[in-house]
Homo-oligomer: A and B are copies of this chain.
Amino acid sequence: MLDVAAAARVSVATVSAVVNGTAVVSPELTARIEEAIRAIGYKRNAVARSLKMGTTRTIGLTVADITNPFFTDVVAAIQEVLHKAGYAVMLCSNDENIEMQDEQIQLLLDRMVDGLIIAPAGDDANLERILSGTNVPAVLIDRICEGVDTDAVVLDNEQGVFDAVTYLLGLGHRRIGYISGPLDTSTGRDRLIGYRRALEAAGGACQETLVRRGDYREAEAYRLAMELLTLPERPTAVFTANNLMVIGVMKALRDLGLSCPEDISVACFDDFPWADVFHPQLTTVAQPVQAIGEHAARLILDRLERKTDGPPRREVLQGRLTVRNSCRPLS
């Protein structure tokens, strides 16, 4: 910029003014400066700007598993809104590892992100402390953490599972296996509550022997499904608390020579874009991924643009039971 100023025989202040359109500069000078910029091949340096301004126009984003299509879709929606607003996003995926998550958040904070969007790996004892050590606004998505009091957008997880399990009960199923998410995640807990509440509402006692605690991943779900499906009194239906785990269940069915929905009915939380073309066409609780991402982005943008200054807001969206044909009525 000094070079440009020298070449155009003006001060850097004037150059800055034309580069940012931040003040009125006479046409002649503007032209001279623009010419000099072209000649020198000047490129603005956003980090110097950030240092001076105290803002980087970038948002840090951590998700538990970018490989999970649910998170992918949410991330895509977030980055689209943010990009339109002139923000970049710095993305970290931590493979459901809380220590790594904390490390990543620190790294993002070091780099002076203007805001943070976090899909936490699980309850995180350090998160509150880390966040309160800064005044960078944060919004939690998907899962919330005990004691972390920030903006958040979550789903009504309990209701989503309640609807699905009630649907299965309506089909005549009484032995409904449940592969849960980890109980140190809010979604894991809330979804399990939905399962229990549905059974209770139907007057059936919850059969804890049919509940298995998974980790939202395929491999462990496979193992748990094998357990469930080889029980002396096998469940007639299995529900998994997320998308990845249903794949594990389907693999178990395949390896056991069972078919869905003939032998076992299957349903899960989270939808797939291909769910209505491949067989069995899965019945799912679809999350409004686009809306989740958009809301999260808006919340952070609101904070940054000082439109909002109040207490934490928590937005709760609803899932939608999407019935296809992976569950059959028990005659």
Binding site for B on A (CB under 8 A): 41, 43-48, 50-51, 56, 58, 66-67, 69, 72-73, 75-76, 79-80, 83, 88-93, 95, 100, 104, 107-112, 133-134, 218, 247, 250-251, 253-254, 272-274, 276-280
Contact = CB atoms under 8 A, between A and B. Distances in A.
Given A79-B93, A218-B273, A250-B277, 17 more contacts: A43-B133, A45-B112, A46-B111, A47-B112, A67-B73, A72-B72, A79-B92, A80-B95, A83-B92, A88-B107, A88-B111, A90-B90, A91-B91, A247-B273, A253-B277, A254-B276, A279-B280
Given A66-B76, A88-B92, A134-B43, A83 B104 contact: yes
Contacts of A109: 43
Contacts of A108: 88
Given A66-B75, A66-B79, A277-B254, A46 B110 contact: yes
A110 B66 contact: no
Contacts of A279: 278-280
Contacts of A48: 51
Given A67-B72, A67-B76, A46 B112 contact: yes
A47 B111 contact: yes
A38 to B, nearest CB: 12
A80 to B, nearest CB: 8
Nearest to A104: B83
